[in-house]
Amino acid sequence: MKKRLLINVSESKAIKDLRSNIGKHIPCPKCSRKKYVRRLKGKDKRYFCAKCRYKFSLKNLVGFKYSNLNYKQIYHLLHCFGNNKSHQDVIDWTGVSYPTSRLNYSRIRTGLKPHLDTDKLTGKFVCDECFVGKQKTNNQAIVMGAVDSTFTNLRLEVIPDREQDSIEKFLEIHIEPTSLIVSDAFSSYFDIGFMGYNHLIENHSKGRFQETVPIERVWGLFKTSITRSYHHIHKEKLPEYLVEFQFKFIHRKYRRNPLYIAKMLTKTVPDC
């Protein structure tokens, strides 16, 4: 039985919504200038940048350059992506093939990556590492994460091992010294005080779990979302899925709206 579509927009409605969503000041995908872009008149529905003379379509603007999908399919795809729908749902609702669905999900993730905040964080952060995948199939990777107790900021990254160097490197990239780091009693964290961090250790073996709850919740959510939507992923592709999860986690209030994701993709840094 075919599942009921959560939203159903027509091709013209999809075009209209995507177009009006971008707003008046359209950034040129090539030179990212805003003032010089205008719509071409007549049959040609594309945009034109008067500065670099680059012509581009709405599809290009929302991050679907060279795609054969129509706007209705793009709209539904963005909806599926934001609402954690599986590839099977995309196939059922848009009529594309499995490889196309995967390719386009991957395209969205790549487009969203530049929008993740990379500034150093300050405050109180709970840090931990987590094993993703199975050792016996040689598909295991270690992800390190840092999250604050209000769940407004989240940083995730694949680290090569749980050695002191890897963990300290992660902290150095993402968190400002003088911040408070909460961790378990794993030995790789013991020297981070020398890097300028305040350090709070919570020893799980003594039955204390209260402080590290936020990061444990993140791991739970991450693993559930992967299993539900994709069932199985390869460790080479893991960074891509981390981008998706971080985006959805931080923008959780708006991610269900396909136009919100489209707007994010529009703001992507110039591709040439």
Interacting residues toward Zn ion by CB under 5 A:
28, 30-31, 49, 51-52, 54
Can you read off the two tokens belonging to residue 131?
């094993």
Q: Please state the closest distance from residue 266 (CB atom) to Zn ion, in A.
A: 14
Quick check: 198 and 180 in contact, CB under 8 A? Answer: yes
Closer residue to Zn ion in complex, CB, 63/214: 63
Q: How far apart are CA 169 and CA 165, in angstroms?
A: 6
Q: Please state the closest distance from residue 20 (CB atom) to Zn ion, in A.
A: 22
Closest CA to 74 of 86, 88, 58: 58
DSSP-derived secondary structure for 86-104: -HHHHHHHH---HHHHHHH
Helices (H), the chain: 11-22, 58-61, 71-82, 87-94, 98-112, 164-174, 213-229, 238-250, 258-266
Quick check: 29 and 271 in contact, CB under 8 A? Answer: yes
Closest CA to 15 of 65, 66, 57, 67: 57
Q: Please state the closest distance from residue 233 (CB atom) to Zn ion, in A.
A: 37
Closer residue to Zn ion in complex, CB, 246/266: 266
Q: Please state the closest distance from residue 45 (CB atom) to Zn ion, in A.
A: 18
Closer residue to Zn ion in complex, CB, 22/182: 22
Quick check: 106 and 87 in contact, CB under 8 A? Answer: no
Angle between the 87-94 and 71-82 helix axes, to the nearest 10 degrees?
A: 150
Q: Please state the closest distance from residue 110 (CB atom) to Zn ion, in A.
A: 21
Of the chain, the end-to-end C-alpha distance in Å amounts to 45
Q: Please state the closest distance from residue 53 (CB atom) to Zn ion, in A.
A: 8
Q: Please state the closest distance from residue 264 (CB atom) to Zn ion, in A.
A: 20
Closer residue to Zn ion in complex, CB, 30/120: 30
